[in-house]
A and B are shown apart, each in its own frame.
Chain A
């Protein structure tokens, strides 16, 4: 993913929208899927990994403006934020609750892996 530090806020917004548009599942998180830097972000990637879903991710800690621009656009105040098919699903609590109820699997079109 390209470095945002040289971008204007407008360019960051366009990149955020493009990432959400171009990836069926996209997560804005603290840290990376390989190295999450927040328990809530970690929980979301653990769920997606468990469901073997392909997803894109953006580390909002690389540039504080990403979080500002994203929050203003999505009208959601916290990180992580998970988008499916261009729509905000929610943060960690909602993702977890939808996963536990099986609703997330339906939204993602995947089966829960056999235990």
Chain B
């Protein structure tokens, strides 16, 4: 069972300035995270997802997250 609040905190700590929204898609361990982060600018999707996975690695490893679907975006250039 994942603590969505903790996960949000972990991701925001790893990606300062990011906007994070995590939704439980079922069972408490199938999650969907929508993340907009300035660190994603000019990064491939692969690199963007890697940054997020790295932030929550411990929760993936200990099984509290079974699946984490991601939608990552860089903020619109201003």
- Residues on A lying within 8 angstroms of B by beta carbon are 40, 75-78, 88-94, 97-98
> How far does the alpha carbon of A65 sit from the alpha carbon of B53 in the complex, in Å?
21
Q: Does more than half of chain A's interface fall in helix, strand or loop, or is it mixed? A: mixed
Interface residue count for B (Cβ, 8 Å)?
A: 12
Contact status A90-B67, CB under 8 Å: no
> How far does the alpha carbon of A98 sit from the alpha carbon of B49 in the complex, in Å?
13
- B48, closest chain A residue (CB): A94
Contact status B49-A91, CB under 8 Å: yes
Residues on A with C-beta less than 8 A from B67 are 40, 78
Which residues of B from 21 to 78 have beta carbons under 8 Å from A? 45-46, 49-50, 53, 57, 60, 67-71
Residues on B with C-beta less than 8 A from A90 are 45-46, 49
Residues on A with C-beta less than 8 A from B71 are 93, 97
Closest chain-A Cβ to B2's Cβ sits at a distance in Å of 14
